[in-house]
Amino acid sequence: MKLTTKGRYAVTAMMDLALHETDKRRVALKSIADHQEISVAYLEQIFAKLKANGLVRGTRGPNGGYRLSKPARNISIFEIIDAVDEPIDVTRCHGRKDCQDGEVCLTHELWTDLSHQISSFLDQLKLGDIVKTPRVRAVAERQSMRCAETKHTQRVSFS
């Protein structure tokens, strides 16, 4: 379980989708790219993985874009990060059980315990819950207002 900026991009992007879940419209990567100020091409890589892990579905063409492939309340933060970030090998002995003699194994349980701790924490956190919090809601409102105001300027700050 690694946590890189890629994983963070993925989580905020998924929140973006979750916030528009009620709409019929798909969310285009272009729009997310503007929100997060990263390139569409980079987002494509992230969404390729999200899609491969069955978290989103994409449709092409004008008015195309992505939507969540299941309800936000059933998607955990763990799933999202796990989909895009490579798993880190916390134990250094590559998870083999028969490492009773190697140096690593003194601390083997230490690292696996930690790893489980992190995973279960993030697995309890559902996208739906986070999107429901007042802060996020408020920010989402502000965002859509701002989008309307500055539609053509292309420079919108997500939050």
Site string for DNA, 129-148 (x = CB under 7 A): --------------------
Of 13-21, 41-49, 131-139, 143-151, which part binds DNA (CB under 7 A)?
A: 41-49
- Measured from the CB atom, the residue of 27 and 126 that comes closer to DNA is 27
Distance CA 159, CA 140 (A): 7
> Exposure string (b/e) for 138-154, b if CB count within 10 Å is 16 or more?
eebeebeeeeeeeeeee
Q: Does the protein bind DNA through residue 48 (CB under 7 A)? A: yes
Using CB under 7 A, pick the residue from 22, 24, 41, 97 that binds DNA: 41
Contact (Cβ atoms closer than 8 angstroms) between residue 49 and residue 87: no
Q: Does the protein bind DNA through residue 49 (CB under 7 A)? A: no
Beta strand ranges found along 1-158 (DSSP E): 56-59, 65-68
Q: Does the protein bind its own copies through residue 158 (CB under 8 A)? A: yes
Q: Does the protein bind its own copies through residue 128 (CB under 8 A)? A: no
Distance CA 79, CA 119 (A): 9
| H/E segment holding residue 82 | helix 77-84
CA-nearest of 33, 20, 26, 14 to 155 is 33
Window 80 to 99, contacts with its own copies (CB under 8 A) = 88, 90, 92
- Measured from the CB atom, the residue of 5 and 63 that comes closer to its own copies is 5
Q: Does the protein bind its own copies through residue 129 (CB under 8 A)? A: no
Contact (Cβ atoms closer than 8 angstroms) between residue 26 and residue 63: yes
Using CB under 8 A, pick the residue from 6, 15, 50, 72 that binds its own copies: 15
Contacts to DNA by CB under 7 A: 2, 4-6, 26-30, 38-42, 44-45, 47-48, 51, 58-66, 86, 88
